[in-house]
Structure 1
Amino acid sequence: MNQKSAELTSSVRNFSVQLSPTPRGARLARLLATEQLRSWGLPLDPARHLVAELAANAADHGRVAGRDFRLTLYVVGDTLRVEVTDTRGERLPEVRTPAPDAESGRGLLLVEALAHRWGVTEERFPRKTVWAELRLTPPEPVS
């Protein structure tokens, strides 16, 4: 195990922030996540793409006037977990295949493609958390 791998597997880190459920709040989520990942010395991609999609969904589909959404980043060992919690627990995300000429509707397909795994945790009403996990170290080569 190299030094970088040892550092990844021995550390637990977290970051959490509440943001307005607006396009500006979604952009700020991506920017803050990017800076946090950079400060932790972690790869920026594809994590910032996951944050961007989950935050945009919270701003678009999870918006309730006067209620913020929360972005949380956890690093445990070699796993980064991105969580976005909003207050529209009755609106669970669905992966759909959009029409070829549709200008939106591909966000969860992107999350599904980039994340090691992802899902939804239904919390005390009216909240839900959409989460995605990434491995931070590449798998060991098969010999």
Structure 2
Amino acid sequence: MLGPAERAWCVVVPHQPRGARMARHRLSTELVGTIRPGLLADVVAVLAELVGNSVRHAAPLPGEVIRVAWRHRLDGDHDIVQVRVTDGGGGAVPRLRPTDLDSLDGRGLHIVAALATRWGSDRDGLGQSVWAEFRAPAARLPGPDGDDPAPNDLLATR
């Protein structure tokens, strides 16, 4: 069960390049005004990279889709955001691979590793998931009267 300061979503998008655009739009719409803009930009960039990798390197889930999930919660004075992309798997476990300045590809998981606090992959009964987690100081968005709310009160008023 989700607590009062926790929100989660799960959607399916087509196993096509436009799936990344759809996932970015949905995530941005859900989290704008809830977390700091810089954190939101990082989360959206990583989600787009994970969906793009799924389209390029993995099989789709039944129905030719990818499952995209994300969760936001407050932990003390920190926002914790996790994104997870589940597909039918691509055989190899996703991992960082060496690249050089002239490489045309292979940088995606390096971007994920640089922006996320931590990331990884796992398999379940549905398929293979790659996830990334972000931990950043909580946003202090102005309340209705212009005062800064306490970070733990942010989602309770939404």
The reply to whether TM is greater than 0.5 is yes
- Name the structure 2 match of 1:37: 31
Is contact 1:89–1:127 with CA below 8 Å preserved after alignment? no
Which residue pairs with 2:137 in the alignment? 137
Q: 3-state SS of the aligned residue for 1:45?
A: helix
CA contact (8 A) 1:89 1:123 kept: no
Q: Could you say what the CA RMSD is over the residues aligned between the two structures, in angstroms?
A: 2.0
Cα deviation, 1:93-134, whole Å, max 9, x if unaligned, reads: 12112232122210100100111111111112x601100000
After superposition, give the CA deviation of every residue in 1:25-51 in whole Å (9 maximum; x if it has no partner).
11211121111111x522322111111
CA distance in 2 between counterparts of 1:12 and 1:53 reads 24
Instruction: Please show how residues 72-111 of structure 1 align to structure 2 within 5 Å.
Output: 72-77=69-74, 78-88=79-89, 90-111=91-112
| Aligned-pair identity (%) | 34
Tell me the number of residue pairs that the alignment of Structure 1 and Structure 2 aligns.
128
Distance 2:95 2:121 in 1: 10
Structure 2 unaligned segments of length 5 or more: list them: 139-158
Which is greater in Rg? 2
Letter in 2 for 1:116: T
Q: Does 1:46 align with 2:47?
A: no
TM-score, normalising length from structure 1?
0.80
Normalised to the residue count of structure 2, the TM-score between the two structures is 0.73
Post-superposition shift, 1:10?
A: 5.6
In the alignment, which residue of structure 1 is the partner of 2:119? Answer: 118
Aligned match for 2:12, one of 18, 30, 40? 18
Distance 2:69 2:34 in 1: 17
